């Protein structure tokens, strides 16, 4: 039985909801005013203050904290506000309604945030750190799109305000929700990510397309009927199952298996607010206890990142959060009379109800608002509306419980709240303990570069523009490693497989490149499109130059106008050049340098960083930094700056010689990046951990003398003579047995992976096996005995 205490026995710090409010407007409303976000939010807050039963100014004067749910416009570092916005939204809204809070907070991104913030500040009140809090969120996505699409820039309103004052900006909180693999392969928007998860669930249930589509329609049609009666809903049209799942001109497929009417509707103008006080403050203000609603249970959990989840068809953190919230409330699921489950996409609902045993047609219904596709999906703030509805339901049915399940990310973050007018003390719960168990689940290994036989784990296809479909596949290699790949746009065989009933579980073939992974129906299909060719030098390069002198290859990064910084095309050319060098038996040594006298390489060309910036060859910057084996020596002739990726390229070379004017550094942290192309690993080995940390964490540069003293370079040339020095070093290497040089390099690389010194020495002994059968070894010994110069063959 749920716990019960009389009102008089409640501690004065017990948190209680005393007011809720919602505001909205639609473009076709007769009184549509194109309100700004702050004005629409102020309307919701004013209604919430008045919902206490007192005059709004009376309650407003008591508010010490205002908390804002982050909008879509602020949800990522790259987001923009086309019509402008206040620099301090919490205080902009507070000013409008007569509040003067001591604390203003802007929450993190995510649909879980309304419930998570309410839980957090309920705990703040219980701890005595606050007495009265207003939480709100607002979105005017519909208005912004309408005004920017119909008015010239000089005719649009300016919603910017300089408010100033204290603001606790929590940041975006999106770390771990997106990987570079997902960005590169187009698995970035929630629509396509959820679609891939939905297809994984269809496969797990063993359903063909049409029967599964029917289940999605049957799940969501009742939501639309609820929305049709909600005055704040974005649409008031009740939909049948067939209307939801049948594609037509007004209900196109947006990402397999979703039609437009099955996904969240973000073009809305909606705001909601909650007033949360202590019992003591509610008593002092004289708020009628009949309006008090208590948070009986709560939980917050986080799922593993999408690509590391053991099962892409399910995210168990959501059901775990519901179960824990029920434990905190000391009730069972059958004791909950009202449910609102976050419904951005069908799987967000089924992921909750499946493991809990709730039927899609549960007589309680699964939404209080009408759901995100029909009521509307106001950015991160949907669940604030659900909380407002839950409070209203709890008041209408005293002693019953209402539950709100809020979801953020890609089934990534779940926050649950259980509400009732039944008086109850605050209970802190133990979400951290639940999270420990979730975190103990095994994670799947992933790879950026996938090659070989594989199996489709899930997929989606988006229609794109002008008929240019985009196929995205998540698969597993034979060793269980997971990858993302795209289908080549004109690969009708592969699209035909994905259009069928049973693509998941089918064997395919995947091939990696700088553009990402590409998946084919089989190896033969891959070879038809990409025949194997022997690595070879081209007659001309756009961003590099080569010079061949006997057994020596000289390679020049030829982008002096950009300080020899590397972009996608330059990396691709250098990768091909090194492929040809390592494959050519008549080339024994290579020198790498930069054009001009200013820079060896300034690293990644940030001016061209974007999606193309992710197109780095499998072998890394310059085709070297991630190359698993470099079987023949490469000498770096550093003729100026070797910065960022430029230093990482030099570190990947076997010998580094420098012009006396050269400088070395990893400045990535000064521009918000990190030296992830080998610098974080190789620099500590080259110069020692203390100096490496200094360079990596501060961006400190070393001149040539310091680099020589630290062991980063082996020789220094007078100004302008570094290539002469590099050629001299190359001649010294060429004077040695090329077979011995190659075997020495191989043995050193293998020994570097063995931690025990004597085991490492034993590893190097394997070089003797190759040398015993080498013609160069016989020639070397013969030449030594006969006192003549050796004539190496490289065999």
Which pairs count as long-range contacts for 745-749, CB under 8 Å and 24+ apart, including other chains? 745/630, 745/631, 745/632, 745/633, 745/654, 746/629, 746/631, 749/629, 749/630
- In 3D space, the residue among 405, 390, 404 whose CA is nearest the CA of residue 293 turns out to be 390
H or E element that contains 392: helix 382-396
CB 24 within 8 A of CB 385: no
Active site residue 330: no
Question: What sign does the dihedral 248-254-257-258 (CA atoms) show?
Answer: negative
Structure tokens at 150: 């119909």
Classified as helix, coil or strand, 556 is strand
The residue annotated as part of the active site, out of 198, 303, 389, 668, is: 668
CA distances from 376 to 228, 367, 428 (A): 12, 12, 32
Question: What sign does the dihedral 24-28-31-37 (CA atoms) show?
Answer: positive
Length of the chain, please?
A: 795
Q: Nearest 5°: phi and psi at 590? A: -125, 145
Structure tokens at 691: 């100096």
Active site residue 74: no
Cβ density class 513-536: b for 16+ within 10 Å, e for less? ebbbbbbbbeeebbeeeeeeeeee
Q: What CA–CA distance (Å, rounded) separates 253 from 245?
A: 9
Q: Would you give the distance in Å from CA 137 to the centre of its chain?
A: 24
Q: What CA–CA distance (Å, rounded) separates 417 from 406?
A: 8
CB 349 within 8 A of CB 366: yes
Q: Would you give the distance in Å from CA 734 to the centre of its chain?
A: 48
Q: What CA–CA distance (Å, rounded) separates 621 from 632?
A: 18
Question: What sign does the dihedral 765-767-771-773 (CA atoms) show?
Answer: positive
* Residue 593: other Cβ atoms inside 10 A: 24
Q: What CA–CA distance (Å, rounded) separates 235 from 215?
A: 22
Structure tokens at 195: 């679609």
- In 3D space, the residue among 203, 501, 506 whose CA is nearest the CA of residue 347 turns out to be 203
* Residue 445: other Cβ atoms inside 10 A: 13
The residue annotated as part of the active site, out of 37, 139, 457, 648, is: 648
Q: Which residues contact 313 (CB under 8 A, 6 or more apart)?
A: 197, 200, 201, 203, 204, 458
Structure tokens at 496: 């035909």
Structure tokens at 442: 């095994």
* Residue 164: other Cβ atoms inside 10 A: 10
Cβ density class 647-686: b for 16+ within 10 Å, e for less? bbbbbbbbbbbbbebbbbbbbbeeeebebebbbeebbbeb
* Residue 344: other Cβ atoms inside 10 A: 24
Residue with tokens 């820039």: 153
- In 3D space, the residue among 743, 746, 740, 747 whose CA is nearest the CA of residue 777 turns out to be 740
Q: What CA–CA distance (Å, rounded) separates 206 from 433?
A: 34
Structure tokens at 665: 């550094």
Which residues are marked as active site?
A: 648, 668
């Amino acid at each position: 039985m749920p716990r019960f205490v009389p009102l008089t026995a409640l501690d004065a710090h017990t948190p209680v909801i005393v007011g809720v409010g919602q505001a909205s407007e639609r473009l076709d409303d007769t009184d549509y005013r194109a309100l700004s976000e702050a004005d629409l939010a102020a309307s919701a807050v004013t209604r919430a203050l008045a919902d206490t039963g007192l005059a709004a100014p009376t309650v407003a004067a008591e508010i010490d904290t205002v908390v804002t749910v982050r909008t879509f416009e602020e949800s990522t570092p790259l987001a923009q506000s086309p019509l402008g916005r206040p620099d301090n939204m919490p205080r902009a809204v507070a000013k409008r309604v007569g509040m003067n809070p001591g604390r203003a907070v802007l929450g993190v991104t995510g649909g879980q945030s309304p419930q998570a913030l309410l839980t957090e500040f309920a705990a703040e009140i219980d701890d005595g750190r606050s007495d009265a809090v207003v939480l709100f969120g607002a979105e005017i996505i519909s208005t912004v799109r309408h005004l920017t699409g119909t008015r010239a820039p000089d005719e649009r309103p300016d919603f910017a305000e300089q408010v100033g004052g204290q603001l606790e900006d929590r940041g975006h909180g999106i770390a771990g929700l997106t990987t570079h693999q997902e960005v590169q392969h187009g698995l970035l928007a929630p629509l396509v990510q959820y679609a891939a998860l939905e297809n994984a669930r269809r496969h797990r249930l063993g359903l063909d397309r049409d029967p599964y589509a029917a289940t999605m329609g049957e799940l969501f049609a009742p939501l639309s009927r609820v929305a049709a009666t909600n005055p704040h809903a974005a649409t008031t049209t009740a939909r049948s199952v067939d209307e939801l799942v049948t594609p037509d001109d007004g209900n196109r497929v947006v990402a397999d298996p979703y039609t437009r009417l099955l996904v969240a509707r973000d073009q809305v103008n909606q705001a909601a607010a909650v007033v949360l006080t202590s019992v003591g403050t509610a008593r002092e203000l004289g708020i009628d206890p009949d309006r008090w609603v208590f948070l009986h249970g709560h939980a917050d959990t986080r799922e593993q990142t999408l690509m590391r989840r053991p099962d892409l068809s399910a995210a168990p953190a959501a059901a775990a959060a519901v179960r824990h919230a029920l434990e905190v409330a000391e009730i069972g699921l059958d004791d909950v009379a009202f449910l609102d489950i976050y419904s951005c996409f069908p799987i967000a609902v089924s992921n909750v109800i499946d493991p809990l045993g709730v039927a899609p047609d549960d007589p309680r219904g699964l939404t209080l608002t009408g759901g995100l596709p029909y009521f509307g999906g106001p950015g991160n703030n949907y669940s604030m509306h659900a909380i407002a509805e839950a409070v209203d339901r709890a008041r209408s049915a005293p002693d019953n419980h209402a539950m709100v399940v809020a979801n953020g990310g890609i089934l990534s973050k779940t926050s649950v709240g259980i509400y009732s007018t039944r008086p109850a003390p605050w209970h802190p719960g133990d979400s951290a303990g639940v999270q420990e168990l979730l975190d103990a689940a095994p994670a799947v290994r992933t790879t950026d570069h996938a090659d070989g036989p594989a199996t489709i784990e899930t997929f989606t296809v988006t229609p794109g523009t002008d008929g240019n479909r985009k196929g995205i596949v998540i698969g597993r290699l034979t060793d269980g490693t997971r990858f993302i790949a795209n289908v080549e746009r004109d690969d009708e065989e592969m699209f035909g497989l994905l259009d069928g009933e049973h693509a998941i579980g089918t064997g395919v073939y995947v091939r990696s490149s700088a553009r990402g992974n590409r998946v084919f129906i089989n190896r033969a299909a891959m070879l038809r499109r990409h025949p194997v060719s022997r690595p070879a030098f081209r007659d001309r390069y756009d961003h590099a130059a080569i010079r061949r002198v006997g057994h020596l290859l000289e390679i020049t990064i030829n982008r002096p106008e950009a300080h020899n910084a590397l972009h996608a095309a330059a990396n691709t050319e250098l990768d091909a050049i090194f492929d040809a060098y390592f494959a050519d038996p008549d080339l024994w040594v290579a020198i790498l340098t930069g054009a001009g006298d200013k820079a060896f390489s300034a690293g990644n060309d940030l001016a061209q960083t974007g999606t193309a910036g992710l197109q780095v060859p499998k072998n890394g910057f310059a085709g070297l930094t991630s190359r698993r084996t470099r079987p023949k020596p490469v000498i770096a002739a550093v003729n100026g700056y070797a910065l960022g990726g430029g230093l990482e390229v030099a570190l990947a070379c076997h010998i580094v010689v420098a012009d006396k004017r050269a400088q070395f550094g990893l400045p990535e942290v000064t521009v918000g990046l990190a030296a992830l192309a080998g610098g974080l690993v190789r620099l500590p080995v080259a110069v020692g951990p203390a100096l490496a940390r200094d360079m990596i964490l501060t961006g400190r540069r070393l001149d040539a003398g310091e680099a020589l003293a630290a062991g980063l370079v082996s020789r220094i040339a007078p100004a302008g003579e570094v290539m002469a020095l590099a050629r001299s070093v190359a001649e010294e290497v060429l004077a040695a047995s090329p077979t011995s040089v190659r075997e020495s390099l191989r043995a050193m690389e293998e020994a570097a992976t063995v931690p025990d010194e004597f085991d490492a020495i034993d590893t190097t002994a394997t070089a003797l096996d190759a040398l015993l059968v080498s013609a160069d070894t016989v020639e070397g010994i013969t030449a030594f005995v006969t006192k003549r110069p050796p004539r190496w063959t490289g065999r």
